[in-house]
C-alpha cells in the first residue's frame, strides 16, 4: 500500500478507529489507541506505510518500523506495511495473525485471532488471496493460494479456504464449502465508505 499524502493516511487511520468505536472523535480514538492493541498495531502499520516511500523521513520510518516490530512480538500479529489493506480494517482479537505481504484486502474487513492469509508456492493456485469488501474472517480460518474472496462474505471459524468464494456467501469447514448466502450482515458493523 502507498499513501499519496499524510491526509490520506490519517483518513485511513480514522476509518479504522471508527470501526472500533463508531465515532470520529479524536479523544475517543486516543483512548482506543491506549486500550486496544489491534488498533494500535493497525495505526503504526499505516504510519510505516506512509513513511516508507519518503526517503527524507527515513529516520522517523526506522523508529516506527521498530515500534511495529515490537508490537508484532507483543501481540502475535504479523501484517506488513506493504500489504494492501482498504479502509475500516478491524482486528477483533490479537494473537497468531499472519497475513502475506502481497495479499490484497478490501474495505471493512474483520479478522479474528489465529487466522492465516497466505501464499501457495506451487500448483495452479500459486500466489496470494484477494479479499473483497465487508468480509468477516472467523477465528482460526486459513485462506491460502491465489483465490478471490468476494464481497459481503462470512468465513467460519477454523475454515480452510482454497477456492474462490462468490459474493454474499457464508463458508465453513475443511475444505470450506458454501453453507448459505446470508453474507456478513451482523458480523461487519459500522462500515465506512
Q: Could you tell me the domains of the chain?
A: 1-78 (no CATH), 96-185 (2.160.10.10)
The confidence score (pLDDT) of residue 90 equals 95
The confidence score (pLDDT) of residue 99 equals 96
The confidence score (pLDDT) of residue 31 equals 87
- The pTM of the full predicted model, rounded to 2 decimals, is 0.92
Could you list the beta-strand ranges (E) of 11-164.
77-79, 84-85, 90-91, 97-99, 104-105, 110-111, 116-118, 130-131, 135-137, 142-144, 148-149, 153-155, 160-161
The confidence score (pLDDT) of residue 61 equals 93
The confidence score (pLDDT) of residue 2 equals 82
Name the helix (H) or strand (E) containing 69. Answer: helix 58-75
What residue ranges of the chain have pLDDT lower than 70?
none
Amino acid at each position: 500500500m502507498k499513501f499519496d499524502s499524510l491526509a490520506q493516511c490519517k483518513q485511513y487511520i480514522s476509518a479504522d478507529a471508527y470501526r472500533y468505536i463508531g465515532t470520529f472523535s479524536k479523544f475517543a480514538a486516543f483512548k482506543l489507541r491506549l486500550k486496544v492493541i489491534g488498533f494500535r498495531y493497525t495505526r503504526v502499520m499505516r504510519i510505516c506505510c506512509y513513511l516508507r516511500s519518503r526517503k527524507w523521513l527515513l529516520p522517523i520510518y526506522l523508529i516506527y518500523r521498530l515500534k511495529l516490530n515490537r508490537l508484532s512480538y507483543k501481540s502475535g500479529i504479523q501484517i506488513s506495511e506493504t500489504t494492501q489493506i482498504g479502509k475500516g480494517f478491524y482486528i477483533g482479537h490479537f494473537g497468531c495473525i499472519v497475513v502475506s505481504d502481497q495479499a490484497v484486502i478490501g474495505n471493512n474487513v474483520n479478522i479474528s485471532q489465529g487466522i492465516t492469509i497466505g501464499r501457495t508456492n506451487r500448483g495452479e493456485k500459486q500466489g496470494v488471496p484477494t479479499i473483497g469488501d465487508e468480509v468477516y474472517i472467523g477465528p482460526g480460518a486459513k485462506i491460502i493460494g491465489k483465490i478471490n474472496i468476494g464481497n459481503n462474505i462470512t468465513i467460519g471459524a477454523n475454515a480452510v479456504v482454497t477456492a474462490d468464494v462468490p459474493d454474499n456467501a457464508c463458508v465453513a469447514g475443511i475444505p470450506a464449502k458454501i453453507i448459505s448466502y446470508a453474507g456478513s450482515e451482523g458480523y461487519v458493523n459500522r462500515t465506512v465508505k
